[in-house]
Structure 1
Amino acid sequence: MRHGPLLHKPYGNLPSELGGFVGRGGELAEVGRLLETSRLVTVTGAGGVGKSRLALAAARAVHGALAEGAREQAAQERYCDGVWLAELSGVRDPALLELTLVEALGLTDHTTRPPRTVLAEHLAARRLLLVLDGFEQLVDETAELVRELLLRSPGLRVLAAGRRPLAVEGERAFPLAPLEPAEALELLAARAAAADPGFAVTDANRAALLEVCARLDGLPLALELAAGRLRALTADQVLARLEDRFALLTGGARGGLPRHRALRTAIGWSHELCTAEERLLWARLSVFGGQFDLDAAEYVCAGPDLPVESVLDLIGELLAQSLLVREETAAGMRYRMLETVRIYGAGWLESLGDAGRLRRRHRDWYMGLATWCELDWFSPRQQEVAAIVEAELPNLRLALECCLDEPEEIHLGRYLAGTLWFYWAGCGRLTEGRHWLERTLEGGRGPADREYEGSRLKALWVLGYVAALQGDAVASMSALYECREGAEESGNAVAAAYSVHRLGCLALISDDMARAAQLLRSALDRYRAAGELNSNVLMCQVELAMATAFQGDLPGALALSEEVRDICEERGERWTKSYALYVLAYAALDAGATAEARRLLAECVGINHTFRDLVGLVLAVELLALVNVAEGSPAEAAVLQGAAEPLWDGVGMQLFGSGYFNAPRLMCQERAGELLGAERYAACAGHGRTLTVDELVERALREPEPPPAGPLPRPRTAPASGAGTAAGPGHQASPGNRKPAGSPKGEPAG
């Protein structure tokens, strides 16, 4: 929770405005006024009327007010924790609604707590604006969630955009009307000029353009579609085509709202103006959720009636007609279809009787993508793989749903959910991963599953892995024992190795180091016999290094960790490397080489932050705090300790109560507290708790400031002989306060 002075900069995740916001000055001001007096404001209206853009413009106005500092004191007070957007249009599964909000708020949670609990606890003492867009397909679930969050979070305000109100007590609905004629003309002209810089409103075309705006009832989406045609047609030609098709393309029941008919007119007219191949591609592209790239479009949509070599040109035509949007992302150039346009195309695909086949082709492509990403995870492309899977998550969800729709294809869902282990565990997606794994494994093992036993076993060990990382030892052990029994019965040596490995991890986090070392060595032997080498295998060796260090063999632990680091550097693997670096940093600190320990931990922090690995991040930060104490900077150590505390909420009970893994945190508190005194330590830690994760990482990576002049009292240390120093991995000060040398969970994960 944030206390103390107002934030010095705004926080949030709002996208930048690409096309410019035209008109709506009065509506924008009114929404702003409603937000001042109401905690829930919903902008309502027909598809294409501009609800999303108005809501985002209002949110950006709040965001801008935060940046104005003291001049906007009221906004600073009301929204000091930022402005956050949750895009819900691609969410179909109610179970993913709360998880989507968790992710939108930038939260990473590795515990077994329900996402709703995570949300409620995060928002309880915060003051922020949450923007919800596109909730129509889950209106009841969204209303229930919003009601609960508003009741439990007095500082929360919600700005929603949808075709109907949420009907939550206290809601202020703002029905959005179409644009006024002058604003409609301004929007039409702006979009036409963007497509054709030579376009201008003149005395010769003004009347026709105004009539186009009137025919389209001032609907922004309809106007933007028409603007795309002004590159090739005159205003009179556009108007004539609307006249010819208006009656035919209105659609809907008699007495329907004119703006509904106008929108369908505009989309239907655009459809009519497309060539046969463009219409076919439009319909087939509707199977994608969110963004997609050219390779996916070519594989899914091409066929005898749509040659693969024509897809790129056809996409270019759909872009020119404003039916597709092109976006540059961390995963490269991608395309997206506006939701209203996508729904129209999906209707045509259903009418063609080809929807089932296209959904299966879509599923097959994303199963292949997941397979290649799993292989590339153990390569220099690891960070790129994380960005690709993040961008493709809506499509991967659709692929998983497709697998679950047909009982005879559930084995494909198990394969897909298991193949994505690296994303669930390595990129902070434990809760969602467990959701899909458990869904694919529902009902147990049937006779038909024997043919696809490998997929079931993989899903089981991945479920055991994810559950262990969440601290659910019972569920983890159940899945892993079932996997091991099935692997032994079917002779699947690889699955057996994974099950033994994860059981070793459970022993590690339970402080049973002798059993952990035995199981982890057995797993490594099994991996070698099976010819398996990947991030999992190397992580097994890092975990063995931890167990070895905890048993007092620091040289053995160092040898294991150095070998892992060298292999990772040779293969370009970074995620597992970060945990090897953690062990090496411990060794450096134990030897008094604080500068080397800081260098290793800085690299560790950077990697863990890149992959959203909350466990690895909080471990590295806490060990870095101990480095600061050793270097004579106890105040900075206390700040880092305070900043790490909120992160534990997303990890769960601090490292499962493990004495080994909790030791650096407890030791730092003791040493820094002795040097600073209780009052100053509390003040420094309190400041740390105000830092965001990004600010914490920035602070952890900066060059340390020189210690204050004059000697500082040295913290007490244990004898260097035997078990090592008090900061060292081998030392055991007292039961429950043993000193660690590695990953918190034994299993580094998201």
Structure 2
Amino acid sequence: MSSESAAPGDRRAAGGLPAEVTSFVGREDELDLLAEQLASARLVTVTGPGGVGKTRLAIRAAAEAAPAFPDGAHLAEIGQVQDGLLLGHAVLEALRITDHTARPPLEVMLDQLADRRMLLLLDGCEHLVDACAELVGALLRAAPGVRVLATSRQSLRAEGEHLLPLAPLAVEPPATGAPSEAVELFADRAGAVLPGFALTAANRPQITLLCRRLDGIPLAVELAAARLRALSVEQIIHRLDDRFRLLTGGARTAPPRQQTLRTTIGWSHELCTMQERLLWARLSVFAGGFDLDAAEYVCAGDGIDADRILELVDALVDKSVLFRADGPAGPGDPAPARFRMLDTLREYGAHWLRATGDDGRLLRRHRDWYLGVASWGEVEWFGPRQAKTAERTRLAHANLRAALEFCLTEPGEEQLALVLAGTLWFYWVGSGHLGEGRHWLDRALALAPEPTEARAKALWVTGYMATLQGDLTRARPALEECRRQAVDTGDDRALAYAVHRQGCAALIGDEPARAAELFEEALWHYNAIGELNSNVLMAMFELGVAHLFLGDTDTGDAWIDRVREICEEHGEQWAYAYGLYAMAYSKWTSGEIRLARSYARECVRLNHLFRDLLGIVLAMDVLALLQTEGPGADLVEARVLQGAAHRIWQAVGTPFFGSRTFNGPHLECERRARAGLTEAEFTDAFRHGGSLDLDAAVSRALGADRPTPGPRPFRPTPVPTP
């Protein structure tokens, strides 16, 4: 959708609205919602940041609603009025009402419109909100047949006002596979400046990336399309680091504030008070969303009192500089309100923050806050709030990345980079981010080679994640260095973790006897230092698995039962889910197929809560094998699940860690399916499974068979009330 306003002198459509001079793209849902609001409310205000397309949407909605108003729909362009005292005169002029008396314009307006049935569109009210609110209030009281549709970067806060906050255009393609609205707009405008331009399968990914970088802001998309006169799409993307210099040259007939992206946003900046501008600049250090607590910690002081942050945030939301971006709330645990700023607005604020010279201090405060988020998450990972901790960390992911990048690029911050990247082990491992965790840790370890406590932790975390990816060539040296440093420095905790993770490397290296020895040694060290957390439970689980692989089912089951007891006592679900995988494997070896299937499904379900891809895929492969068992065997479904698991493994690392032992059930399932299916059935079922996304694959795994008796329900011990 274009964000251009109609210029004075444009050809007028019936009813006093400007005719559209460019095609109208998308916004079907917003038009429907706006039509509903205009049918039931007498004052509707479309709000949103500059360039988001408020004017264009409002004009289209007013044109569609005009037949319901005998006296038509009329546009008054308030953005061109700089003095509130002239507002009434401007509206009278737009309505073509002439009065040569000395009466005040509002009095004339109320007299002339008292019996009219019309829709009045007030466009661009943000700089005169008080005057507009006063005028609208008086008009609606005196003229019952008049309805008002306004556009503004902030609400009028007039009595009876209904709001329609307008977001940027969608960037990601819909499920139908059609282009997104932002991409469609770019292609439409590109065709106008570059004859022969067409959206193709080849250029669509780059155009989507460009629109994503532009936040889907219609004005920015249109200005970028105009640059195709001289640049390719790839060149535009490359130059977006200075988007305000690049995105100029809007239509000459557009209002000056909409001819470049910088002046469009600058117009919003001018509407803010000094403290609102200062907070805008400080909030630019946040990447993605943030909550009020984070804003108060990071941004308060030196000109902004902490107790004013709420008021200022509310003002910036009202002025469409910030948006509410609430995450999902858990039962009985409402999520706090979250806010976000479009990247384009964030970049503008960052420019002003750098100009103040205060950016270094704000970035450090931001880093400190998210180091606290990570540290608290590590503590809460062991306990009943585990799932909520995973969700809270997921919501902070973009800011954690920003904090890590700051630590890795700011001289003297290298040790804190190690601390932050290492502390987040629970998120990297437990929520499906092994590759990203390795990225941050490798960078931090390269910058800080001195033997510190932070480096020791980063080494065992790196070794652990490399092991899970099947990369023993990296895992073993990292863990050996950690162990050696721990012995040299007397770091008993690092020694326990290094030995534990060396056991993991031995287990996937098909040395279950050696792995069992190392796990027992690690548990001795954990006990000596009084450590009890999810890592310790995983050591017990892994020791049980080692015994199962050695054929000692009784010892293996005993350790896994111990894991389940402790998990239920402390409300721990993540390690419990891995215990379920081991229980499923154990029950399969003993021929208890129905119970094995139930354990494996519960393992998939719990790990899906955390988005732990490794836990999901291990259990899914067991479920595939179980589909080949018994009179109800379904070899096609077994291959479908194997195909789905194969796709997930691609996002984890080497399938089955490169381990022959872990790969055993998969190979047995494959052998049975190949023996009972035709080559086409064998191949097609696997291909179909590989086409399933994660959620669809999990749904398939959980609902592939009739309900079976489940494992003992997970009932964590309630936390005592003080």
Unaligned runs of 5+ in 2: 1-18, 27-48, 58-166, 184-200, 215-220, 239-245, 330-334, 709-722
Contact 1:287 1:358 in 2 (8 A): yes
Which residue of 2 is the match for residue 419 of structure 1?
423
Deviation per residue, 1:438-483 (Å, 9 max, x gap):
111114534xxx6xx2111111111111222222212211111111
Structure 1 residues 665, 130: closer, same or farther in 2, change over 3 A? farther
Work out the CA distance in 2 between the residues paired with 1:162 and 1:298. 39
Amino acid at match of 2:317: L
Contact 2:207 2:233 in 1 (8 A): no
> CA offset at residue 541 of structure 1?
1.0
Work out the CA distance in 1 between the residues paired with 2:419 and 2:227. 39
Work out the CA distance in 2 between the residues paired with 1:172 and 1:339. 15
Three-state SS of the structure 2 residue aligned to 1:288 is coil
> CA offset at residue 486 of structure 1?
1.0
TM-score w.r.t. structure 1 length? 0.62
Deviation per residue, 1:231-264 (Å, 9 max, x gap):
xxxxxxxxxxxxxxxxxxxxxxxxxxx4356425
Contact 2:479 2:502 in 1 (8 A): yes
Match of 2:278 among 270, 280, 287: 280
Work out the CA distance in 2 between the residues paired with 1:285 and 1:604. 41
Contact 2:537 2:575 in 1 (8 A): yes
Work out the CA distance in 2 between the residues paired with 1:159 and 1:650. 36
Three-state SS of the structure 2 residue aligned to 1:335 is strand
Structure 1 residues 361, 703: closer, same or farther in 2, change over 3 A? same
Which residue of 2 is the match for residue 167 of structure 1?
232
Three-state SS of the structure 1 residue aligned to 2:23 is helix
Work out the CA distance in 1 between the residues paired with 2:561 and 2:21. 61
Work out the CA distance in 2 between the residues paired with 1:128 and 1:640. 30
Deviation per residue, 1:315-338 (Å, 9 max, x gap):
111111112111111373211123
Structure 1 residues 377, 84: closer, same or farther in 2, change over 3 A? farther
Match of 1:385 among 367, 384, 389: 389
Structure 1 residues 701, 163: closer, same or farther in 2, change over 3 A? farther
Contact 2:223 2:248 in 1 (8 A): no
Which residue of 2 is the match for residue 366 of structure 1?
370
> CA offset at residue 293 of structure 1?
0.6
RMSD: 3.8
Work out the CA distance in 2 between the residues paired with 1:444 and 1:658. 32
Deviation per residue, 1:356-401 (Å, 9 max, x gap):
1111111111111110011111122222222222221221122122
Structure 1 residues 694, 159: closer, same or farther in 2, change over 3 A? farther
Three-state SS of the structure 2 residue aligned to 1:642 is helix
Which residue of 2 is the match for residue 550 of structure 1?
549
Contact 1:129 1:159 in 2 (8 A): no
Give the number of aligned pairs: 518
Percent of aligned pairs with the same amino acid: 46
Structure 1 residues 547, 51: closer, same or farther in 2, change over 3 A? farther
Work out the CA distance in 1 between the residues paired with 2:707 and 2:350. 63
Contact 2:269 2:277 in 1 (8 A): no
Work out the CA distance in 1 between the residues paired with 2:576 and 2:498. 22
Q: How does 1:25-424 map to 2 (within 5 A)?
A: 26=23, 28=25, 49-50=51-52, 57=169, 63=174, 65-66=176-177, 131-133=208-210, 167=232, 215-217=255-257, 219=258, 258-260=259-261, 262-271=263-272, 274=273, 276-303=274-301, 305-330=303-328, 332=335, 333-424=337-428
Work out the CA distance in 2 between the residues paired with 1:472 and 1:596. 33
Contact 1:460 1:480 in 2 (8 A): yes
Q: Are 2:702 and 1:701 aligned?
A: yes
Three-state SS of the structure 1 residue aligned to 2:260 is helix
Work out the CA distance in 2 between the residues paired with 1:651 and 1:356. 36
TM-score w.r.t. structure 2 length? 0.65
Three-state SS of the structure 1 residue aligned to 2:320 is coil
Work out the CA distance in 2 between the residues paired with 1:63 and 1:561. 45
The structure that has the greater radius of gyration is: 2
Work out the CA distance in 2 between the residues paired with 1:340 and 1:606. 39
Which residue of 2 is the match for residue 433 of structure 1?
437
Three-state SS of the structure 1 residue aligned to 2:444 is helix
> CA offset at residue 501 of structure 1?
0.8
Contact 1:404 1:410 in 2 (8 A): yes
Three-state SS of the structure 1 residue aligned to 2:551 is coil
Contact 2:249 2:260 in 1 (8 A): no
Unaligned runs of 5+ in 1: 1-21, 30-46, 67-74, 86-123, 138-157, 182-213, 220-257, 708-750
Q: How does 1:554-633 map to 2 (within 5 A)?
A: 554-631=553-630, 632-633=632-633
Three-state SS of the structure 2 residue aligned to 1:630 is coil
Amino acid at match of 2:539: C
Bigger relative contact order, structure 1 or 2, given CA contacts below 8 A and separation 6+? 1
> CA offset at residue 575 of structure 1?
1.7
> CA offset at residue 267 of structure 1?
2.7
Work out the CA distance in 1 between the residues paired with 2:182 and 2:266. 34
Contact 1:588 1:594 in 2 (8 A): yes
Structure 1 residues 24, 606: closer, same or farther in 2, change over 3 A? farther
> CA offset at residue 48 of structure 1?
5.4
Structure 1 residues 128, 589: closer, same or farther in 2, change over 3 A? farther
Contact 1:638 1:669 in 2 (8 A): yes
Amino acid at match of 1:547: A
Contact 2:482 2:498 in 1 (8 A): yes
Deviation per residue, 1:169-214 (Å, 9 max, x gap):
8999999986898xxxxxxxxxxxxxxxxxxxxxxxxxxxxxxxx6
More off after superposition, 401-410 vs 433-442: 401-410
Contact 1:585 1:596 in 2 (8 A): yes
Work out the CA distance in 2 between the residues paired with 1:172 and 1:364. 32
Three-state SS of the structure 2 residue aligned to 1:330 is coil
Which residue of 2 is the match for residue 487 of structure 1?
486
Contact 1:84 1:130 in 2 (8 A): no
> CA offset at residue 313 of structure 1?
1.7
